[in-house]
Structure 1
Amino acid sequence: MEALQKFARTETSCRLCWVLTILLLSLYLGSSEGEEGLVDLPTPEPDLTIDECHDEFTIACANASQIFSDSYDLCELNANETIVNLDVDVELERLQIELGSSAVCGNMQICDTLDDDLEYFKCINENGTRNLDILTEINYNATHAHTRLREDYDAVHRTFLLCSLDAQKNYMDNLRKAHKELTKCRSEIDELSE
């Protein structure tokens, strides 16, 4: 009998807990619908404010600009280093051409020192033939070097353009992403403030 009384008290307390829980729940739900006379529970505050949204946007834009600047500088650096290497490769060819042109001039000057006309024309004839061979070689080397170097410079320029184009695309993607995050942040704040 005593056990039945204990059970009845426990059952009554549980019912009372359930009634209080339901009452509190209805008060809470009623206050969120704006019923008068009920206690308003505070609405959750957003994680960020509008100013903080814009601060994050500004930081994201600054980061995007820095990344673009660094990427563009790297494109330029690579292009400049490649051009320096190309210039080093042509130094030997330039030296050979300069030596050949000096030899041509030297051959002609040797003849200028001769007073005898017969010896002078003979010298010009012999050195002219030699100079023609040297000039043909100079022309061939210069044309070959110019053609190859023009192709190399075009390739460097093309690589630089593609590199800088990738940097620009990444920059625009980062700006678009930052703007999307700003719009999302502002929307979330607007929804919470309504």
Structure 2
Amino acid sequence: MFNPSTMAQQVSSLKQLESLLLLLFLLWFANSCCNQAQAFAVLPENVFGGGAGLLVNDIVVGDVALPVTRVENDCFETFLQESRSASNTYASAYRACQMLGSRKRMEYVSAEWSTREDMMEQVTALCKNLCDCAQIVADLEFFQCSAQHSYKGVNTMQQVYLNSTAATVELEHKYEEAEKEILLCIISAEQEYVDLSSKAFLKLSKCLKAT
């Protein structure tokens, strides 16, 4: 049997439920709008070009994205530029040290070149004379020729030996000096590179702490 009172109670309960759902929806919407408004209020300060300290990028560490501001980004850009400059300076200085060593060696060789030419002329003449003796058919003339030029050659070979020994000692000493000079040059270049790199890093650290 239809009961108006029961029907009215059901309608009233439905309306109360609808009102409750509507209220919950309005509260959620208001809260969402508020959060979104706050997000938009912060957003202009978190985009590149909006002012100092603005976000331009993220550094991902594990599953966490760490924001990087424009100022921080500028700090790293400056650091990278100064690091590249330090590396280029070191590379140029290192090549200059190697070229210095090559130039020194050429100078030492040039200084001994006249001695080398004299020795080559003496040895070449001795060898030619002995070779000419070897072409003689007659035994007596062959031995006479060989004895004569060998006797003269003793003095030549002694001079070649003494001059070669002296030149060897001189060049070894000069080469050692050249190697020492090259090493000191490279150490100086390395020191400059370390100093420039350290200054760049300290500047980066100071720049990041100021952000």
The alignment's TM-score, normalised by the length of structure 1, stands at 0.69
Query: Distance in 2 between the 1:178 and 1:170 partners?
Result: 12
Structure 2 residue identity aligned to 1:72? Y
Name the counterpart of 1:75. Answer: 97
Counterpart among 70, 80, 85 of residue 107 in structure 2: 85
The structural deviation recorded for 1:155 is 0.9
Q: Secondary structure at the match of 2:112?
A: helix
* Unaligned stretches of 5+ residues in structure 2: 1-51, 54-69
Partner of 2:80: 58
CA-CA distance at 1:67 after TM superposition = 1.2
List per-residue Cα deviations over 1:77-122 (Å, max 9, x = no partner): 2222222222222222221121111112112123223333222222
- The structure with higher relative contact order (CA 8 Å, sep 6+) is 1
Deviation at 1:174, TM superposition (A): 0.9
- Aligned to 1:115, the other structure's residue is in SS state coil
Within the candidate set 131, 152, 156, 1:134 is matched to 156
CA distance in structure 2 between the aligned counterparts of 1:119 and 1:53, rounded to whole angstroms: 92
Task: Read off the aligned partner of 2:114 and give its amino acid letter.
Answer: L
- Where do 4+ consecutive residues of structure 1 move more than 4 Å? none
Residue 182 of structure 1 and its aligned partner are, at CA, apart by 0.6
Identical pairs, percent = 22
Which one-letter code corresponds to 1:168 in the other structure? E
Cα distance in 1 for partners of 2:81, 2:147 equals 78
**How many pairs align?**
145
Higher strand share: 2
Instruction: Kindly indicate whether the alpha-carbon contact (under 8 Å) linking 1:53 and 1:186 is maintained by their aligned counterparts in 2.
Output: yes
Tell me what 1:35 maps to. Answer: none
Q: Which amino acid aligns with 1:51?
A: N
Which ranges of structure 1 fall in alignment gaps of 5 or more residues?
1-44, 190-194
The separation in 1 between residues aligned to 2:142 and 2:136, in whole angstroms, is: 6
Quick one: distance in 1 between partners of 2:123 and 2:76? 68
Residue 158, structure 1, aligned to residue 165, structure 2: no
CA distance in 1, matches of 2:82, 2:135: 77
Report 1:29-40 matches (<5 A): none
Asked if structure 2 preserves the Cα contact closer than 8 Å seen for 1:57 and 1:178, the reply is: yes
Q: TM-score, normalised by structure 2?
A: 0.64
Which deviates further from its counterpart, 49-58 or 75-84? 75-84
Alpha-carbon distance in structure 1 between the residues aligned to 2:134 and 2:84:
71
Letter in 2 for 1:176: S
Q: CA RMSD in A?
A: 1.8
User: In the alignment, which residue of structure 1 is the partner of 2:47?
Assistant: none
Alpha carbons 1:107, 1:131 under 8 Å: kept: no
* SS of residue in 2 equivalent to 1:120: helix
Contact 1:65 1:171 in 2 (8 A): yes
Cα pair 1:112 1:120 within 8 Å, conserved: yes
Choose the corresponding residue for 1:111, options 119, 122, 133.
133
Structure 1 counterpart of 2:145, from 112, 117, 123: 123
